[in-house]
Amino acid sequence: MDAMNASGVPHQSRPPREGMLLSSDEAFVETVTSLWPEDVMHWQVLRSGRAALDIMFVTPPDLLVVDMRLADLPGDAVLRILKSENVYRQICAVLCMDEATLHGGMDWATTEADDFVLLPATVVELRARLELAMLRATRTLDANPLTHLPGNTSILLDIQTRIDRGEDFGLGYADLDNFKAFNDKYGFSRGDEALMMTARIIVNTVRAVASGSSSFVGHVGGDDFVFMLPAALMESACRTIVSRFDAIVPSFYDDDDRARGCIVSTDRQGDVRTFPLMAISIAVVFNHEGCLQHAGEASHRAGQMKKKAKAMPGSSYALDRRCYGDVSSADGTAKGVPPTIPAQRDMYDDSDGMGDEVDGVDGGGNRHGGAHG
């Protein structure tokens, strides 16, 4: 998915989004098509609703702006036909009408528009309404159906937006250890309860730690979560998430498993296997002074760090300090590293693709640093 700026349209270095405008009003067409440069939004203009449907069923646009005053089909009829097919329901559609049409008895229960614009509209209002409609449609389509947290598209967009702004931030990638064994024994319903509990812990912790600062929580899917905070707050958030998770997770197990501290089961080969109680592993990467260039790089580094976190016993977190250099300040902390992160100054060596300038802390508060994974 192309990264977008805060207004919901792509950066000019990205391919333009595709817009379709259905209207025979020349002045309105000129206004809409001039809202963004052509390298940001490419418009296809049609005056016939039926002709537009033929095209959209083959090549659906990112944004559809429909004038109610079409000659062959009313604008709301075009949307009903288009969105009667589920595969096209995700198209962001904005219906444009005059005041007489608005007060003429619109049946909003059957109107398949994501928003409407009352004409005549100013350029500022029109652009704002279309941008908000695109962002709202993206969030709605992207939300995880279980936790309702933002999904992959929103996660990548938020990471890229912070990088493009030159923001210093920490990205935490959290997932659950031994979740599959729990799910297999207790079933999907109880597994969903565990995921909802994890989501609430992360959301409430990030909200409390952020205390008004810029933050974000997303659900990649399954037992994978992402959160972002200012770099100086990341370790405090990780500590709290680990502590709260470990305090609550035993209550999800039956008495015998909880007393034993593990699940004992027999696999398909008839072998008896033991699985510890669920734990949470958090991999943290930082963007400092523009060291990350794109969201893919952040995701790649987080994947590397997740291996470090999972190598530690129980719930744990691992902090990637490659962005911060290897020079200490007078007080013994590494330059640029948030003061809450004690300096463990292992010289960075990336010959194995992992690097060893890493701080890791397990659930018992034991710090692991500088070991190759």
Q: How does DSSP assign 257-285, residue by residue? A: HHHHTEEEEE-TTS-EEEEEPPEEEEEEE
Q: pLDDT value at position 325? A: 42
Q: pLDDT value at position 194? A: 96
Report residue 290 CA to chain centroid gap: 20
Give every CB contact of residue 247 below 8 A, 6+ residues apart in sequence: none
Section 278-286 average pLDDT: 94
Count CB atoms within 10 A of the CB of residue 197.
Answer: 16
> What region does 276 belong to: left with phi over 0, alpha with psi -120 to 50, or beta?
beta
Strands (E), the chain: 17-22, 41-46, 63-67, 92-98, 115-119, 169-177, 216-221, 224-229, 262-266, 272-276, 279-287, 316-320, 358-362, 367-369
Half-sphere exposure of 31 (CA within 13 A, CB side): 20
Q: pLDDT value at position 358? A: 46
φ and ψ of 160, to 5 deg: -65, -40
Per-residue pLDDT band for 211 (boundaries 50, 70, 90) equals confident
Determine which of 47-56, 57-66, 83-92, 328-337 has the lowest per-residue pLDDT on average.
328-337
3-state secondary structure of 349: coil
Whether residue 54 is predicted with pLDDT greater than 60 in this model: the reply is yes
Per-residue pLDDT band for 105 (boundaries 50, 70, 90) equals confident
pLDDT-above-90 percentage for the chain: 43
Q: Give the CA distances from residue 147 to residues 32, 204, 368, in Å, rounded to whole numbers and listed in that order.
A: 37, 13, 32
Whether residue 256 is predicted with pLDDT greater than 90 in this model: the reply is yes
Among 80-94, 105-119, 208-222, 246-260, top mean pLDDT goes to: 246-260
pTM for this structure?
Answer: 0.63
**CA 315/CA 177 separation, integer angstroms:** 8
Mean per-residue pLDDT over the chain, rounded? 81
Whether residue 142 is predicted with pLDDT greater than 80 in this model: the reply is no
**CA 182/CA 213 separation, integer angstroms:** 35
Whether residue 45 is predicted with pLDDT greater than 90 in this model: the reply is yes
Q: What's the DSSP call for residue 124?
A: H
Chain segment 147-168, per-residue pLDDT in tens: 988 888 889 988 999 999 888 9
Whether residue 359 is predicted with pLDDT greater than 90 in this model: the reply is no
For residue 311, give the nearest of 372, 224, 226, 222 by alpha carbon.
372
Whether residue 66 is predicted with pLDDT greater than 60 in this model: the reply is yes
For residues 247 and 69, which has the higher predicted lDDT (pLDDT)?
A: 247
For residues 138 and 207, which has the higher predicted lDDT (pLDDT)?
A: 207
Are 237 and 361 in contact by the 8 Å Cβ rule? The answer is no
For residues 135 and 263, which has the higher predicted lDDT (pLDDT)?
A: 263
**CA 43/CA 361 separation, integer angstroms:** 52
For residues 292 and 268, which has the higher predicted lDDT (pLDDT)?
A: 292
Per-residue pLDDT band for 365 (boundaries 50, 70, 90) equals low
**CA 293/CA 2 separation, integer angstroms:** 15
